[in-house]
Amino acid sequence: MLIKENTNLKPLNSFGIEVYANTLVELSSNDDFAEFYKSVQNFPKPFYILGGGNNTLFTRDFEGTIVKISNKGIAVTEENAGELILECNAGEDWNDVVNFTITRGLYGLENLIDIPGQAGSAPIQNIGAYGAEVKDTIDSVKFLDLETGEFKEFDNKECEFEYRSSIFKRKYKNKVIITSVKFRLQKNGRLKTDYGIINEKLVKKGLTNPAPADIAHIISEIRAEKLPDPKITGNAGSFFKNPVVPKSHRDRLLKKYPDLVSYKVSEDRYKLAAGWMIDKAGFKGFSKGNAGVHSRQALVLINKTGKATGKEITGLARLIIDKTVSLFDVELEPEVNIL
Can 335 be counted among the known catalytic residues?
yes
Nearest partner of 324 among 284, 264, 288, 285, judged by Cα = 284
SS3 223: helix
Contact in structure between 270 and 277 (CB atoms under 8 Å): no
Active-site residue, from 104, 164, 252, 269? 164
Q: Whole-angstrom Cα distance, residue 134 to residue 330?
A: 26
Catalytic (active site) residue 267: no
Whole-angstrom distance, CA of residue 143 vs CA of residue 220: 31
Closest CA to 92 of 130, 63, 52: 52
Exposure b/e, 2-28, CB count within 10 A at least 16 = b: eeeeebebeebbbbbbbbbbebbbbbb
223 as an active site residue: the answer is no
Show Cβ contacts of residue 235 under 8 Å, excluding neighbours closer than 6 positions: 14, 15, 227, 228, 294, 300, 301, 302, 303
Is the separation of the CB atoms in 48 and 64 below 8 Å? yes
Identify the active-site residue in 92, 110, 133, 335: 335
- Catalytic member of 14, 238, 250, 312: 238
DSSP H helices in the chain? 30-38, 94-103, 121-125, 196-205, 212-226, 247-256, 274-280, 310-328
**Distances, alpha carbon 195 to alpha carbons 201, 276, 329, in Å:** 11, 16, 27
Quick one: three-class SS letters along 281-300?
CCCCCCEECCEEECCCCCCE
Report the distance separating Cα 177 and Cα 271, nearest Å.
31
CB 186 within 8 A of CB 108: yes
Work out the widest C-alpha separation in the chain, in whole angstroms. 60
- Residues annotated as catalytic (active site), given as ranges: 164, 238, 335
